[in-house]
Structure 1
Amino acid sequence: MSGHPAKPSPLNELCSALPSLPLRLREVGRFVAANDYDATTRSMRDLATVAGADPAAFTRLAKALGYSGWDELRSALTEARRPTEASPFSGRARGRRQGPNPEISLVSDKFEAEAAGLTRISPAAVAGAAKAVHAARRIWIAGFRSCRSVAELLNYQLRLFRPDAVQLVGGSGPEDLDLGAFRRGDAVVVIGFAPYSTASVVSARAAHHSGATLIAIADRVTAPMAEGAEHLLLFEAASSPGFFPSLTGAIAIAQSLAAATFTLGGPAAKRRLEETEARLAASSQYVAERD
Structure 2
Amino acid sequence: MDGPDMNYDAVQARILTEIPDLSSELRKAARFLVDHPDEVALVSMRVLASRSEVTPTTFVRLARRLGFTDWAAFRKPFENRLRSGNAPFAAKADALVLRGPEAIFVESLRTNAANFAAAEAANDGKEIARACAILERAQHVRVAGFRSCRAPAHALVYLCRMFRRDVTLLGSDGGSLEAELAALDRKDAVVVIGFAPYSRELGPVVETAQRHGVPMIAIADSIAAPIARHAEVTLRFSTDSPSFFPSVAAALAIVEALAATMLARSGPAAAARVRATELELQGLGAYLPE
Q: Which residue of 1 aligns with 2:138?
A: 136
SS class of match (1:284): coil
Give runs of aligned pairs for residues 118-129 of structure 1, distance below 5 A.
118-121=116-119, 122-124=123-125, 125-129=127-131
Give runs of aligned pairs for residues 236-275 of structure 1, distance below 5 A.
236-237=238-239, 239-275=240-276
Q: CA deviation at 1:288?
A: 2.3
List per-residue Cα deviations over 1:208-254 (Å, max 9, x = no partner).
221111000000111111111001000001x3221100101100011
Match for 2:155: what amino acid? L
Residues in 2 aligned to 1:279 and 1:184: alpha-carbon distance in whole angstroms: 32
SS class of match (2:238): coil
Q: CA deviation at 1:140?
A: 0.3
SS class of match (1:287): coil
Residues in 2 aligned to 1:216 and 1:252: alpha-carbon distance in whole angstroms: 15
Q: CA deviation at 1:35?
A: 8.8
Matched-pair contact (CA < 8 Å) for 1:134–1:264: no
For the pair shown, the structure with the greater C-alpha radius of gyration is 1
Counterparts in 2 of 1:98 and 1:215: CA distance versus 1, 3 Å: closer
SS class of match (1:191): strand
Match for 2:218: what amino acid? A
Q: Which residue of 1 aligns with 2:113?
A: 115
Aligned length: 203
Matched-pair contact (CA < 8 Å) for 2:98–2:104: no
SS class of match (1:198): coil
Match for 1:271: what amino acid? A
Residues in 1 aligned to 2:147 and 2:209: alpha-carbon distance in whole angstroms: 19
Q: CA deviation at 1:110?
A: 2.1
TM-score w.r.t. structure 1 length? 0.63
Match for 2:281: what amino acid? L
Give runs of aligned pairs for residues 155-174 of structure 1, distance below 5 A.
155-163=157-165, 165-173=166-174, 174=176
Q: Which residue of 2 aligns with 1:178?
A: 180
Q: Which residue of 2 aligns with 1:154?
A: 156
1:276 equivalent to 2:254? Answer no
Q: Which residue of 1 aligns with 2:198?
A: 196
Residues in 2 aligned to 1:131 and 1:117: alpha-carbon distance in whole angstroms: 26
Q: Give unmatched runs, 5+ long, in structure 2.
A: 1-18, 29-52, 54-94
Greater CA deviation, 119-128 or 189-198? 119-128
SS class of match (2:267): helix
Counterparts in 2 of 1:96 and 1:275: CA distance versus 1, 3 Å: closer
Q: Percent same amino acid at aligned positions?
A: 37
Residues in 1 aligned to 2:214 and 2:97: alpha-carbon distance in whole angstroms: 47
Counterparts in 2 of 1:183 and 1:241: CA distance versus 1, 3 Å: same
CA root-mean-square deviation? 3.0
Match for 1:275: what amino acid? A
Matched-pair contact (CA < 8 Å) for 2:145–2:193: yes
Residues in 2 aligned to 1:259 and 1:195: alpha-carbon distance in whole angstroms: 29
